[in-house]
Structure 1
Amino acid sequence: MEKKIIIDCDPGHDDAMAIILAASGVSHLQIEAITTVAGNVGVEKNTRNALKICDLVGLRDVPVAMGADRPLIREPLEAAHVHGKSGLDGTGLPEKPVKRTVDTHAVDILIDKLMASDGDITLVPIGPLTNIAMAIRKEPLIVSKINEITLMGGGTYGNRTSVAEFNIYADAEAARIVFESGAPITIFGLDVTHQALASSDKLEELTVIDNLAATTVADMITFYSNAYKGNFAGAALHDPCPIAYLIDPSIFELRQVRADIETKGEFTYGMTVVDFKGATGKTLNARFATWLDQDRFWQLFLDALRSY
C-alpha cells in the first residue's frame, strides 16, 4: 500500500539522495509534493537543485514549490562549506533544470494538500523546519490532518555547535513550534544518521551500478565525503534515513521520548533536549531513532539505485 508523503528539503547532497530513494523502484511512497526552504544554501539554489533531481529521476508530475527564504527570526545560516556554493557541487547535472516550480508558495501547498487529505499524508522535513512552522501558524487545523512528521534533525549532540544539529540550529524557533504542535513526530537525529555511513567499500559497490542515478549519487558521496575526513569512516547519509524508515521501518530501532528545543540558552541554542528517562514528567511527544541495521540500510539504498 502506498504511503503519501511531502518532502520538505534544502538540497544538499543528502537531501538529493533522499529524493532519489523515495522515487526509486523499491519505494512504495507516493510523493505528493516537494517543498524547499533556505538551509544548506539559499532557497533559490535549493529549489533549482530539487528540480534537477526531479529531472534526473523522472518526477515530472510532482509539484515543486519554493518556500521560506530565511528563518522566522534569525539571520540565514548556510552550509556551503559542506555542499559547495551550488549546494550540489561535484555532480555532472545540467546547470538549468527542465522542470519548473509551481506558482504557489510552499507553505500554501502544505496547507492545501493537508486540508484536502484524509489525514494520510506524512511530512518528511529534511531541512530547517521553517515552512512547517509557518504552515502550522497560518492554519492550525492542519495539525489534525498530519499523519506523522518524520524528520531529519536534532540528536543528543551537535554538528553545528557542540550541542546543536544544523537543521534545528538553523531555525530553532520554527523547530520549537513544530515540536510543541501536538503532531506525531519521529526524529532521525545524528545519533542514528551517523550510523548510515557510506564507507569506501560501500562506495565501491555503488560505482559498479551502471545508470545515471547511481553515477550521480557516487559523485555526490565522493564530494560530500570531504566534509567527514578525519571524523568518520565515510559520508553520513543523514536525509535518506527517514525515507528508508518509511519504506522499511524494521531497519530502525526507536524509543518514545520527550523532546524539546532550546531557544534561549547562550551556549545551548538549537539543542534538542531528549528526555529518555522521564525526568521532566512531561508528556512524551516523539519517537527517537537510536539504531539502524547498517547492512540492511545499505542494501536498500543499493537496490534503490539498481532500480533506475
Structure 2
Amino acid sequence: MTQDSHDGSQLKNDFLNRLLIDCDTGIDDALALAYLCALDNVQIEAVTSTPGNVDVEQVAANNSALLKLCGKSEVPVLSGAREPLEIPLVTTPETHGPQGVGYATLPDPDPSTIANHDAVDSWIEAARANPGELTVLLSAPLTNFALALRREPKLPWLLRKVVIMGGAFYHQGNTTPTAEWNTHVDPHAAKEVFAAYTAAAEQGIESEKLPIVCSLDTTERFEMQPEFLAKLAEEAGCEEPEWVLASDAEGTLSKASNPLVRYLSDALRFYFEFHRHYDQGYIAHVHDYFAAGVAAGTLEYETRPATIDVETESQLLFGTTVADFRGLWGKPANAHVVSRNDPKAGFEELVKRLGELARKLDNDS
C-alpha cells in the first residue's frame, strides 16, 4: 500500500479551514479546542457535543464555557445524542474528573449559549448549504456522526474532509487490551460510519474524502511532559514560572496570572496524575490535539489507505478496530490511517499558538 505525505505548513496562511467539531470534552478535547480557537486559518462553524468522557449536558457546558474563555462565545454549541446507539453510556471520571476537565473550573455557562437545535440536523443543514467546504473533526465516540449518516447518506460527498480520533491497530488499547476509548464507548456507531464509507468507496467517492483516522498508534506519540506548562506560561508572559511537578501534592491548583494558562494547567495536572496511577509515568497523552492539527492543516503526517471494520459481537474483542492494509478482504479502502507524525514539531506549534492566544486574551481583558 502507498504512503501519503501531508505538509500542514503549506495550508497555514493561505486557506481558511471551516470546521465542525464534535467532542466529548474531556481534558485533551479541551486542549484541542483551545488550540483551534488560537488559529487564524480556522473558522469554527459549530461545536457539537457527544456523550463519552462525561454526559452530554456536561460536555455542552464545558464547550460553552471554554469557548467563552477563549474569546469565541459566538460559536454555536449544540447537543446531540444522549447515549450510544445500542449500549449503555459509560463515562470516565477517573480519567478526566467528574466534570471532564480535571481540576479546572470555569463559570457556569449561560444556557442561552447552548443552541436549542439538534446537532445532527445542524450538521446536515450545514453540509447541504456548503457542499465541499466543511471539515468535520470527530474527537468523541462516533454516535452523532453515525446518526447524521443515517439521515443523509450523501454526507460523505458533501463534506470536504473528515478526521477521526479513534481506534488502535498495532497498538495496545487504552480501555481494553485491544480497544480504544472512543470506539469502545460506541462501537456500533463506529462500525456504521466505516460501513458507510465502504459503500461510498464502492460508489467511487474521491479518495481525499475518505476519513483520516488518528489512532492510538500515532496519538500516543504525543506524550506531553509537565515542562510543557512552564514553556506555555513563559510564552504567555505570565508573571511567575508555572511549575507542575510530580512531587507536588495531588490536586495542587495553579496560581498562574493568565486565566487560560491556569485552566489548562489545572486540567492537565489531573491528566498527569491519572497516567501515573496507571503506571505510565507523570505524563499526558494528548490524543485530540494531534487530530485537531490534522483537521486544521497545521501538522505534518503521513497516512496509509486501509479498510477498517469494528468488532461488536465478541465479548473478548468488543470495540476493537481492525484495519486491512493489504486488501485481503477484497473491499476498497474506506479510510486513511495516519502512520507517521512529528510530536516535537507538534508541541512547538501548540505552545506557540496557545501562548499567543493567552497573551491576546490578557490584552483584551
TM-score range, shorter chain: over 0.9
CA distance 1:232–1:252, change in 2 (3 Å): farther
Partner of 1:22: 36
Partner of 2:259: 212
Deviation for aligned residue 1:203: 3.0
Deviation for aligned residue 1:15: 0.8
How big is each residue's C-alpha offset from its partner over 1:160-203, in whole Å with a ceiling of 9 and x where there is no partner?
11111010011111111111112611011111111111113323
Separation of aligned partners in 2, 1:51 and 1:206: 23
User: Which of the pair has more CA radius of gyration?
Assistant: 2
1:303 correspondence with 2:329? no
SS of alignment partner, residue 339 of structure 2: strand
Separation of aligned partners in 2, 1:250 and 1:198: 16
Separation of aligned partners in 1, 2:305 and 2:42: 24
Query: Structure 2 matches for 1:135-284, cutoff 5 A?
Result: 135-156=148-169, 157-182=172-197, 184-208=210-234, 209=236, 210=238, 211-229=258-276, 230-232=279-281, 234-248=283-297, 251-284=300-333
Separation of aligned partners in 2, 1:217 and 1:87: 12
Unaligned runs of 5+ in 2: 1-14, 198-208, 239-257, 358-365
SS of alignment partner, residue 81 of structure 2: coil
1:67 correspondence with 2:80? yes
Separation of aligned partners in 2, 1:41 and 1:164: 19
Deviation for aligned residue 1:50: 0.5
How big is each residue's C-alpha offset from its partner over 1:107-153, in whole Å with a ceiling of 9 and x where there is no partner?
11111111111221111110010000011112223232022210111
Please, which of 137, 143, 148 is the counterpart of residue 124 of structure 1? 137
1:163 aligned partner, one-letter code:
T
Conservation of the 8 A alpha-carbon contact between 1:193 and 1:237:
yes
Provide TM-score, normalisation by structure 2: 0.80
Deviation for aligned residue 1:249: 5.4
1:204 aligned partner, one-letter code:
A
2:318 aligned partner, one-letter code:
Y
Query: Structure 2 matches for 1:38-77, cutoff 5 A?
Result: 38-77=51-90
Separation of aligned partners in 2, 1:33 and 1:95: 19
Conservation of the 8 A alpha-carbon contact between 1:206 and 1:218:
no
Separation of aligned partners in 2, 1:166 and 1:17: 18
Please, which of 89, 92, 112 is the counterpart of residue 79 of structure 1? 92
In angstroms, what is the RMSD of aligned CA positions?
A: 1.7
Deviation for aligned residue 1:216: 1.6
Conservation of the 8 A alpha-carbon contact between 1:195 and 1:291:
no
Please, which of 24, 27, 45 is the counterpart of residue 32 of structure 1? 45
Conservation of the 8 A alpha-carbon contact between 2:273 and 2:282:
no
Separation of aligned partners in 2, 1:27 and 1:79: 33
How big is each residue's C-alpha offset from its partner over 1:23-59, in whole Å with a ceiling of 9 and x where there is no partner?
10x4411111110011101101111000111111111
Aligned residues: 307
Q: Among the aligned pairs, what percent are the same residue?
A: 30
Separation of aligned partners in 2, 1:86 and 1:250: 30
Unaligned runs of 5+ in 1: none
2:92 aligned partner, one-letter code:
A
1:150 aligned partner, one-letter code:
V
SS of alignment partner, residue 103 of structure 1: strand
Deviation for aligned residue 1:204: 2.6
